[in-house]
Amino acid sequence: MRQRIVLPVRGRISRLALLAAFSAGILLAGFPEDDGFVRAQSRESAEYEVKAAFLYNFAKFVEWPADAFQNEKAPIALCVFLADPFGNALDDVIRGKTINKRELAARRVSDLRDLRACQLVFVSDKEGKHLPEMLNALKGASALVVGETDQFAERGGGIQFYMEDNKVRFSANVDALQRARLTVSSKLLALARIVHEKNHRKED
């Protein structure tokens, strides 16, 4: 897939870790859609293990402005808003890892006011209806907002997961990414389906 939009690009980055996470979507192919309740549970568990790996790799290929953190030692907070479909998967993926000398922290958030302390926010399909309130709470903040609801990216989210050929794929809303002042690697955008917001919503 060719890159169609160019945002500011970070320095040289290894592609191997990114491809490892994105190719992990193959895991889902092992779980037939109609193979019973246990299979369905296993498939969902595998799906969110893959998505947890995606979130970690998104953080590796996105750079936040300095004022997105309280100080130089503050961690990169990967937050899950309300319902948490990951179990321990997200915690396991980021345990012991750092990005640009910052530790990673997995947090569960239930109050909109706490979202501004997050660098990445994931909202599940179950909670996607809260996107307008989330975007309002994050107005002016540099947060990467990731979801999995239909039209999530076109409605103002930064990145949206979707399923294609039984694999996890993602769309990137370049309008939202630019508005949040996020520096995104061209390597990441090259693997995304690029979308724009309906009506090209702008910050007031």
Q: What is the pLDDT along the chain (204 residues), one digit of tens a residue?
A: 433 333 333 333 344 444 554 544 433 433 344 555 434 456 677 889 999 999 999 999 999 999 999 999 999 999 999 999 999 999 999 999 999 999 999 999 999 999 999 999 999 999 999 999 999 999 999 999 999 999 999 999 999 999 988 888 999 999 999 999 999 999 999 999 999 987 654 444
Per-residue confidence (pLDDT) for residue 42, from 0 to 100: 65
Per-residue confidence (pLDDT) for residue 10, from 0 to 100: 38
Per-residue confidence (pLDDT) for residue 166, from 0 to 100: 82
- DSSP for the chain? ----------S---SHHHHHHHHGGGGGGGS-TTSHHHHHHHHHHHHHHHHHHHHHHHHHTEE--GGGSSSTT--EEEEEESS---TTHHHHHHTT-EETTEEEEEEEE--GGGGGG-SEEEE-GGGGGGHHHHHHHTTT---EEEE-STTTTTTT-SEEEEEETTEEEEEEEHHHHHHTT-EE-HHHHHTSEEE--GGG----
Phi-psi domain of 133 (left: phi exceeds 0; alpha: psi -120 through 50; beta: other): alpha
Per-residue confidence (pLDDT) for residue 146, from 0 to 100: 98
In the chain the domains, ranked by start, together with CATH numbers, are 16-196 (3.40.50)
Per-residue confidence (pLDDT) for residue 45, from 0 to 100: 76
